[in-house]
Amino acid sequence: MGAKLSGPGGQGGQTIEQNSDINVTPFVDVMLVLLIIFMVAAPLATVSIRLDLPPPTPNATPDPKEPLYITIQETGSIFIRGQQSRIETLAADTCAALDVTTRCQEERVFVRAQPEVRYNAFMEVMNELQKNGYKVGLLNEDIE
């Protein structure tokens, strides 16, 4: 058994052809090494700064206000924090119930209605509040 040599010197006149396939193995090896280096070096590159913050002042955060709920019952009666009101005096009663020194319309009021309330009665309350510039939020119960 012998090896067949090829080349111009004889032995069949066969020549070695060039391999034109891309060999990506060295490229992958280099990329994996670089990935490991960056994974090790990245946590070391983070800089932590020590901050000495002043203690919070006791008057910095005001206590949250109790929200104002306007309740509409199925009979069409309107209640603001348990006090009955009418559609004609709803805006004034709402402002009186808010107990604010600034504009009443800057506060948010929440409207809730019983399921049996007629749509017309509900929309009268909503329109009256929006006409007077109040920010209105609606409340509902979760359906299970």
Per-residue pLDDT tens digits for 24-69: 888 899 999 999 999 998 887 777 778 888 887 776 666 677 888 8
Which residue is it, tokens 């604010």?
Answer: 100
More confident residue, 17 or 112: 112
Q: What CA–CA distance (Å, rounded) separates 139 from 69?
A: 9
What is the pLDDT, as a whole number, of residue 143?
47
Angle (nearest 5°) at CA 89 between 87 and 93: 115
Encode pLDDT of 59-115 as tens digits: 666 667 788 889 999 888 999 988 999 999 998 888 888 877 677 777 888 998 888
Over the stretch 112-124, which tens digit does the pLDDT of each residue have?
888 888 999 999 9
Task: Return all residues near 138 (Cβ < 8 A) that are at least 6 apart.
Answer: 110, 111, 112
